[in-house]
Structure 1
Amino acid sequence: MSTVDDQFTDFVVAHERQLLRTAYLLAGDHGHAEDLVQTALAKAHRHWARVQQADSPLAYVRRVLVTSHVSWRRRLMTSEQVIETLPERPGDDPQLAHAIGDELREALRTLSPRVRAVLVLRFYEDLTEAETARVLGCSASTVNTHATRGLATLRAQLRPATPTPADLTHRRPS
């Protein structure tokens, strides 16, 4: 009379290659296929008495194999995924940000105190034209004029040395 472990071992020896072939077709990867077979056989071993009573123990274990694969795919779809190449996204460069900030502060210093005050209040403090006019004791149209002229001056001073595609499209033909 053979023991339960012997019966299970006989089953594994008889069907391991077939299960591995099925697992490979499911997973498309030898390593994962071996893991799937091992998982299915471990689950079958725990419940071997019930598996043996099934009409077809091989079909039972094959079903465990397939459900293990589907479960693995579900977990994969909801977890972190490895990609071959990273997307080209520049990261924050603190040195570049600091250099740009220095360049902007230097350009602001070239403006008249009144124009500088308008730009700081409007775009740094995020005040409206009316609020800026109230703080400076002038009209909203004066604030608008100073803001327009100040921004134009800053754009001219901070324009890159090489023309950008936007610069080229806004030029008039000579």
Structure 2
Amino acid sequence: MNRTRHEEFREYMADRGPALLRAASQLTSDRAEAEDLVQAALAKTYLAWDRINDRAAVDGYVRRAMVNTQISWWRRRKLEIYPTDELPDRPVDDHTRRSELHDVLTRALRRLPERQRLAVMLRYYEDMSETEIAKILGVSVGTVKSTVSRAMTRLRNDDTVG
């Protein structure tokens, strides 16, 4: 069955959209801007869809498009920001709390054994299924389930998280 370009791309977006949004959120630290970033990167990818011969490389293409687009937006905003002596009428969002939580989570993940850390990152950050993780790690699905379970138990019992 030959699927059309549009059907293939739509299927890719449905499958990988949540993972791409998480990656974009890491780049932007803002949900709305992350959604815009994913949309811009997917638009560029759609235009290049026929030139991407290796479908396994699509994620890399989209992520590179997100990084390049984010850099471009950052440069454009940098030119639009001017110092002023006046304070804004509304308070500015304080990202300190989010940054602190990110640091705590990063430290907790680093304390996990490598296999547990990798399994948790693939499962929850990359949104992969247990079957996909098993293939990547070269282990059984049951091993992936028990590894993730042990890691999550360890994270829940870690006094520095939460």
TM-score by length of 2: 0.49
From the CA coordinates, give the structure whose radius of gyration is larger.
Answer: 1
Q: Which has the higher contact order (CA 8 A, sep 6+)?
A: 2
